Amino acid sequence: MLLPLAVVTMLAGWSAVPFRAVVALQVAGALEELAIALLLPDFVGEMKSVVHAWRKRRAGKTGG
C-alpha cells in the first residue's frame, strides 16, 4: 500500500529514502514468510509470525 506513494516520491525527484524503506520492509516480510515455511514442514494454517511458528514446531516435537 505504501509502495506506490514511495515510487511517486522517487520518480518526482524528491527522495529515494521512502522507496528504499518500503522495499526493506517488503524484503523483511518475505524473509519472515520463508522462515515460517522452513520451520513448519506441513501446512498447519495461518501463522501470525515466525515466533508463533517456532512455538508450534516446539510443541509438536514435545508431543504437546
The pTM for the full model equals: 0.75
Q: What is the pLDDT of residues 11-27, one digit of tens each?
A: 998 988 999 999 999 99
Helices 17-39 & 50-62, crossing angle to 10 degrees? 10
Look up residue 40 and give its three cell numbers: 513448519
3-state secondary structure 20-48: HHHHHHHHHHHHHHHHHHHHCCCCCCCCC
| Per-residue confidence (pLDDT) for residue 28, from 0 to 100 | 96
CB 14 within 8 A of CB 6: no
Torsion of CA 36, 42, 47, 53, to 10 degrees: -60
Q: What is the pLDDT of residues 27-53, one digit of tens each?
A: 999 999 999 999 988 888 888 999 999
Look up residue 4 and give its three cell numbers: 506506490
